[in-house]
Amino acid sequence: MRIAEDRVIEGPGGDLAVRVYVPERDAKAPLPVVVFAHGGGFVFCDLDSHDEFCRSMAEAVGVAVVSVDYRRAPEHPGPAAMEDMYAALSWAAAHAAEFGGDPGRLAVAGDSAGGNLAATVSLAARDRGGPRIAAQILLYPVIDDDFTTESYRLYGEGYYNTTKAMRWYWQQYAPHGTDNPYLVPSRADSLAGLPAAVVATAELDPPCSAGEDYARRLAEAGVPVTAHRFDGLFHGFLTFPSLSLTGPAREVLWQLMRDVLEVS
- The one-letter code for the residue type at 131 is P
pLDDT of 173 > 80? The answer is yes
Q: Cβ contacts of residue 186 below 8 Å, gap of 6+?
A: 143, 144, 210, 213, 214, 217
pLDDT tens readout for residues 51-71: 999 999 999 999 999 999 999
pLDDT of 81 > 80? The answer is yes
* Annotation marks residue 112 as catalytic: yes
H helix or E strand, kind and range, residue 104: strand 101-111
pLDDT of 25 > 90? The answer is no
Give the confidence band of 26 by pLDDT, cuts at 50, 70, 90.
confident
In this prediction, residue 40 carries a pLDDT of: 98
How far apart CA 33 and CA 240 sit, in angstroms, is: 24
* 3-state SS class at 19: strand
CA distances from 121 to 68, 102, 148 (A): 13, 19, 26
Helical axes 80-95 vs 113-128, angle rounded to 10°: 70
Which residue of the set 112, 122, 151, 209 is catalytic? 112
pLDDT tens readout for residues 197-248: 999 999 999 999 999 999 999 999 999 999 999 999 999 999 999 999 999 9
Torsion of CA 186, 188, 192, 197, to 10 degrees: -40
pLDDT of 264 > 80? The answer is no
In this prediction, residue 164 carries a pLDDT of: 98
pLDDT tens readout for residues 98-112: 999 999 999 999 999
211: phi > 0 → left, psi -120 to 50 → alpha, else beta; which? alpha
